[in-house]
Structure 1
Amino acid sequence: MATEQNEQAQDLQQEQIAEQESAHTETEQTEVTAEDLQQQISVLAESLKLEKARTANAVYEAQKSVERIQRESEKHKDTVLEKFAKELLDTVDNLERAIAAAGEDNAMVEGVKLTLKSLLTTLEKFGITEADTTRGFNADLHQAVGIDPTAKANEIGTVLQKGYTINGRLLRPAMVMVGA
């Protein structure tokens, strides 16, 4: 559409230039008549319409470009946040393993627990939450890696690694053992 308008504008401008040159030579030879002036006004009015259409088209294309860039920026931001969060989940796993291995008698365990709590709170601020494992097996949130003979059918028996979601999308599936 913009290309057609540009071509039309160029053709119109060339016609206008030719008419102006012929009008200029005629003016030198004869007086300017009202009809000539009316013709020039109509040519200029058409040129104005065309330029307004071009401007409107350029504004429209600029707005669409801004919207596209904003969408791409949001997508990029989400991707970067997702990659960063996946890296932090390894730290969460290691802190949880340290707490489980240390037992409850160690005073250092309290510091590790507080660090883990702080990290999880920070992750939640950015929409990263633990995937629910209490409502049974869900293939969208859980990855079954084995069978737990003590669990009921289609229920999660043991959680080997917690899963996480980011703003409702799966970030990492929970690795679980499921009852048969």
Structure 2
Amino acid sequence: MATEQNEQAQDLEQAEQQTQNETEQAEVTVEGLQEQITKLEESLKLEKARTANAVYEAQKSVERIQREAEKHKDTVLEKFAKELLDSVDNLERAIAAANEEESPVVEGVKLTLKSLLSTLEKFGVVEADTANGFNADLHQAVGIDPNAKANQIGAVLQKGYTLNNRLLRPAMVMVGA
């Protein structure tokens, strides 16, 4: 019986040790899992930050490309409009040369000029104001008109135009002294 009791005591001790070992392994496993969860959460935060940064950069790139496209469009429109102004000037000279003679050709030139000017206005090209006195931002003084008052425009030699409120071509004017 003593042997049986010793064996039972040893079995109990072994069972306790095994339970302790399993508990320690379980604790180590739980601690390890908690550490792994913490590392994964940190990794997730890092990846979220990288993703947010990539989305931000993509949005900024799209905005930059849109700004550049608008600027390019404005530049192309400006160059095109400047070239058309020569045609406007030529049509106005043709009408002036007709000396108020009414013929089908003169009428056709007037209609062509009217159509061209209305098309230019649709795209923001308008004649620069010369009625409200000299403005160095809109007019280029090329001479002095003795009959005009000081800082007033006496004669317009060539019309000026603006494109979307920006100067496209200054009006060449004679100014009073």
TM-score using structure 2 length:
0.82
Q: Give the match for residue 9 of structure 1.
A: none
Aligned to 1:158: 155
In structure 2, the residue matched to 1:23 is none
Shift in Å, 1:104: 2.1
- Extract unaligned runs of 5+ from structure 1: 1-29
User: How does 1:17-166 map onto structure 2 within 5 Å?
Assistant: 33-107=29-103, 108-166=105-163
Provide the secondary structure at the position in 1 that maps to 2:130: coil
Once the two structures are superposed, residues 112-170 of structure 1 have per-residue CA deviations (whole angstroms, 9 ceiling, x without a partner) of 00000000000000000000001111111000000111111111111000000001010
SS in 2 for 1:33: helix
The one-character-per-residue Cα deviations of 1:28-60 (angstroms, maximum 9, x if unpaired) are xx7871111111111111111110000000000
Give distance in 1, aligned partners of 2:137 and 2:47.
55
- CA distance in structure 1 between the partners assigned to 2:101 and 2:67 by the alignment: 51
CA RMSD of aligned residues (A): 1.2
The CA distance in 1 between the partners of 2:57 and 2:150, in whole Å, is: 57
Which residue identity lines up with residue 38 of structure 1 in the other structure? Q
Deviates more, 1:39-48 or 1:114-123: 39-48
Alpha-carbon separation, structure 2, partners of 1:33 and 1:137: 88
Bigger mean CA deviation after superposition, 77-86 or 33-42: 33-42
Q: Displacement, 1:106?
A: 3.7
Tell me the CA shift for residue 105 of structure 1: 2.1
Alignment pair present for 1:179 and 2:176: yes
Q: Structure 2 counterpart of 1:111, which letter? A: G
Contact 1:82 1:166 in 2 (8 A): yes
Identity percentage of aligned residues? 83
Distance in 1 separating the partners of 2:84 and 2:54 = 45
Could you tell me how far apart the structure 2 residues matched to 1:48 and 1:67 are?
29
